[in-house]
Structure 1
Amino acid sequence: MLRSAYCAALLVAISFNTNSVEATDWARFRGPNGSGISEDGAVPVTWSESENLKWKAKLPGPGSSSPIVVGDKIFLTCWTGYATSRENPGNIDDLMLHLVCVNRTNGEIQWTKPIEPTGLEEEYRGMFAENGYASHTPCSDGERVYAFFGKTGAVAFDMEGNQLWQTSLGTESDPRGWGSASSPILYGKMLIVPATSESKAIVALDQKTGKEIWRQEAQGFTGTWGTPVVAQLEDGSEQLVMGVPYEIWGLSPETGKLKWYAETVDSDSMCSSVVEHDGIVYTVEGRSGGAAAVKVGGKGDATKSNVLWTGRNRGRISTPIYFEDRLYWISNGVANCLDAKSGEEVYQARVQSSSAAPSESNSSRGFRGRGGRGGGQSYSSPVVADGKMYYVNRSGDAVVVELGAEYKQLATNKFEDDDSDFHATPAISNGQLFIRSNTYLYCVAE
């Protein structure tokens, strides 16, 4: 009995020592396994420049990447030197990429580390200008922080800002000219990078050295901007799952080899990420529309055996939330809710903008992006804390919705940052909500 107790205690100690990321950390795009859900308490429902704003940090430059939170540090990426102004972009030779570390307690920038670009970057014009040079969200294991900068590759730093390695993942361009946006994730001792635009591949790197462990290339990655999740099968094994145009793929995390695929939405691009719960992945895509639920696992073509339902719902770029048997997302100023088991619509409701107070009729003119751009071009995805969904559109209108069978908008909040775009998905940790614009990082807390 004593031996068993000792072994159990030892195993617990080992498990804590091999993982430096705490449960309350938000250490990758959309937090734990990309779910977007925080399990560590409520955050404020209302805020402004004078209410529930703990601090506001001026950033070195713009970016679309989302912040991550590890202990007392916040990490995000940005760029400087070129295209910080649409009206006067300047000289692309002056472009510099950055990984930024912010002190969580007071919002002071602890360090900013420059990463020199390859010199092969796209010019800041067209649809690429809607994306930019810092769109990939970093990730961390608590000992190192990893960032991906497209053609400039993946780079690793320790927590004090010392660069450890840099690895190229390819220098190709997205055929549409939209740029690159998929974010890296960690699995075991590997950093897994969806280099979909750079080499039509998903690549695993050694976390300590940056050396390539495996690479799987496929033409099907063309038109993919999502980030993979990890799904557990019934036998306890795990797979990487991500959406690509027309299909959902299940890959071996040890080798990257395709284990199964399922035909789902009829779209030649996959801008959003899949979300997973209890061995089922869900997707809601945008340009051509389409939603689906797929049971993970199988071999080869698993369309007939694993697709549980499909629908014609439209999600644009935003990744949905799975919460208590329902799927939620906001697209083009409309809040959507589906029954996750059947795919049937629970509700659609017009979201109210910051220019009007919420009402039960939900009849306001809705979310609109600044400069005439609609909410449908917003890039952020919703997150959840304490049963409430938080979503920030491109103009900075931040809606709070109580999740349930009926639409209930609790608040719409807005900072005074009217000249910036808000592309990033918020992060949540220890009762604090971190919102990033092109200009500032905000910490919302009681």
Structure 2
Amino acid sequence: MKQFLRAFCYTLAFLLCSLKGITAEDWPAFRGPLGNGIAQETQVPLKWSATENILWKVRLPAPGNSSPIVSNGRVFLTCAENEGRKRSLYCFDRKDGKQLWVRTVNYEKVMPTHKTNNYCGSTPVANGKRVVAWHSSAGLYCYDFDGNEIWHRDLGEFDHMWGYGVSPVLHEGKIILHCGPGKRVFMTAIELESGKTIWETDEPVENDGQRNNSRKYMGSWSTPVIARVNDRPLAICSMSLRVNAYDPDTGKIVWSCSGLRGQKGDLAYTSPVLADQICVAMGGFNGPAIGFRMQGTGDITESARLWRKEPNPQRISTGVFTGGHIFMANAGPNIVQCINPATGDIVWQERSGGAACWGSMVLANGHLYVTDQQGTTHVFQPNPERFEQAAQNKLGERSNSTPAFSDGQIFLRTFQHLYCIGN
């Protein structure tokens, strides 16, 4: 009997461990599994420092603004060196940070970019078997998890004085990619297994795509969000002048809402935030914010737009919708805001006590996390009544990235290291 009980306990323990391995949530794309900045994690740390709750860290060869992803026991991250002549995808073992492989694309032409935007602004995407990295003008690359190249594509040259930063997303075996900014801007779907183009839909630009006809700045660095709206899947993306919803199977624009042209230019840095049936989009460089109902077809600006407000703080970090409100962290000044998506009204705003934020916000364990440019991660409650801070976690290294949350751990990129944080 004792032997039977011992064997039963071993078997039960094995099954529980196996189940944990199966159900542990990966963080396979920019802003998580659904691209909305929401994690299902309930056991992630609230507090850490450079010496507390650090499970491992690895030195990175160069600073960058892209974020880590986690898929099937691997952590992936892009890095660039030598003025963008070397653009690499790194693969690490999530258990101990050991580098498993690196694949480098050589691109001899030095493309323009802003001094704050290194040549690895795009976060990779993975599905547990394949990982895809977009190196902008240097091409789109797909690898298996052993680092073998499956295919690569040249999608054209993307020339913009501020560089690139859009990340690919996956939907039902297709890579959905917003290609730009530059003279040609388009949305495309590419077959994951073969690398073949399924569709391309061009987006009109003015002048050279860097400045509009009024010689004001122009460009979008917005990563699409895949969502089911009114019982149909849509790829929703903020372009320079408007928000478009694409049919992911055909590339047809189902609807669009205008209003992102601003007094200083036509710019979009953030991804759209979907608040139930309302979409909220933020313009860049103090530009306008708009909110509209996701209904109808064609140009829905007149019929569906609820509000438009300008000017606004500089917004690069994408916010999170939870509890009927949108929570934002701004790039200038260092202000956290709670916004009513139905009206655009600011419910409250407070200084975070840290630096400006470029990394996007994440909801996990009932708290909101956002990392500022000094490498401090601010943790606060999603309280619509007031700013309620839970922790300020300082690493003392600059960061423009969004943390990844997976299986009780947080993976955070600074300009110097990749960190794994856990209790």
TM-score bucket of the superposed structures, by smaller chain: 0.7 to 0.9
- Where do residues 9-48 of structure 1 align in structure 2 (5 Å cutoff)? 24-48=25-49
RMSD: 2.0
- Measured in 1, the distance between the counterparts of 2:301 and 2:28 equals 33
Deviation at residue 66 of structure 1 after TM alignment: 0.6
Look up the equivalent residue of 2:319 and give its one-letter code: P
Look up the equivalent residue of 1:302 and give its one-letter code: I
Deviation at residue 23 of structure 1 after TM alignment: 6.4
The residue that corresponds to 2:370 in the other structure is: 391
Q: 8 Å contact 2:139–2:152 — kept in the other structure?
A: yes
The 3 A distance-change label for structure 1 pair 96 and 407 is: same
The 3 A distance-change label for structure 1 pair 107 and 425 is: same
- Measured in 1, the distance between the counterparts of 2:136 and 2:118 equals 11
Q: 8 Å contact 2:336–2:352 — kept in the other structure?
A: yes
- Measured in 1, the distance between the counterparts of 2:222 and 2:22 equals 23
The residue that corresponds to 2:246 in the other structure is: 251
For each residue in 1:120-158, what CA deviation from the matched residue of structure 2 results, as whole angstroms up to 9, or x when unmatched? 3315xxx52211211101001111000000001110000
The residue that corresponds to 1:87 in the other structure is: none
Deviation at residue 306 of structure 1 after TM alignment: 1.8
Question: SS of the residue aligned with 1:37?
Answer: coil
Question: SS of the residue aligned with 2:329?
Answer: strand
* 1:120 pairs with 2:109: yes
- Measured in 2, the distance between the counterparts of 1:273 and 1:233 equals 16
Question: SS of the residue aligned with 2:115?
Answer: helix
For each residue in 1:397-419, what CA deviation from the matched residue of structure 2 results, as whole angstroms up to 9, or x when unmatched? 221111102101122121143xx
Q: 8 Å contact 2:268–2:282 — kept in the other structure?
A: no
2:92 to 90, 98, 102: 102
The residue that corresponds to 2:66 in the other structure is: 65
The 3 A distance-change label for structure 1 pair 140 and 22 is: farther
The residue that corresponds to 1:232 in the other structure is: 228
The residue that corresponds to 1:185 in the other structure is: 169
Question: SS of the residue aligned with 2:46?
Answer: coil
Question: SS of the residue aligned with 1:240?
Answer: strand
Look up the equivalent residue of 1:134 and give its one-letter code: C
* 1:163 pairs with 2:140: no
* 1:322 pairs with 2:307: no
The 3 A distance-change label for structure 1 pair 138 and 187 is: same
- Measured in 2, the distance between the counterparts of 1:218 and 1:169 equals 15
* 1:136 pairs with 2:128: no
Deviation at residue 194 of structure 1 after TM alignment: 1.0
Question: SS of the residue aligned with 1:261?
Answer: strand
* 1:410 pairs with 2:400: no
- Measured in 2, the distance between the counterparts of 1:131 and 1:305 equals 38
Question: SS of the residue aligned with 1:151?
Answer: helix
For each residue in 1:204-233, what CA deviation from the matched residue of structure 2 results, as whole angstroms up to 9, or x when unmatched? 111111111111112249411001112323
- Measured in 2, the distance between the counterparts of 1:386 and 1:200 equals 38
Look up the equivalent residue of 1:190 and give its one-letter code: K
Structure-2-length-normalised TM-score: 0.86
Q: 8 Å contact 1:284–1:315 — kept in the other structure?
A: no
Identity of aligned residues (%): 31
Greater alpha carbon shift after TM alignment, 193-202 vs 106-115: 193-202
Look up the equivalent residue of 1:154 and give its one-letter code: L
Look up the equivalent residue of 1:34 and give its one-letter code: G
- Measured in 1, the distance between the counterparts of 2:58 and 2:80 equals 16
Structure-1-length-normalised TM-score: 0.82
Question: SS of the residue aligned with 2:34?
Answer: helix
The 3 A distance-change label for structure 1 pair 297 and 170 is: farther
Look up the equivalent residue of 2:88 and give its one-letter code: H
Deviation at residue 73 of structure 1 after TM alignment: 0.8
- Measured in 1, the distance between the counterparts of 2:396 and 2:198 equals 46
Q: How many residues align?
A: 384
* 1:261 pairs with 2:256: yes
Question: SS of the residue aligned with 2:302?
Answer: helix
Deviation at residue 349 of structure 1 after TM alignment: 0.4
- Measured in 1, the distance between the counterparts of 2:390 and 2:41 equals 20
**Alignment gaps of 5+ in structure 2:** 1-20, 210-218
Deviation at residue 60 of structure 1 after TM alignment: 3.2
2:179 to 186, 190, 195: 195
Question: SS of the residue aligned with 1:33?
Answer: coil
Deviation at residue 321 of structure 1 after TM alignment: 1.0
Question: SS of the residue aligned with 1:305?
Answer: helix
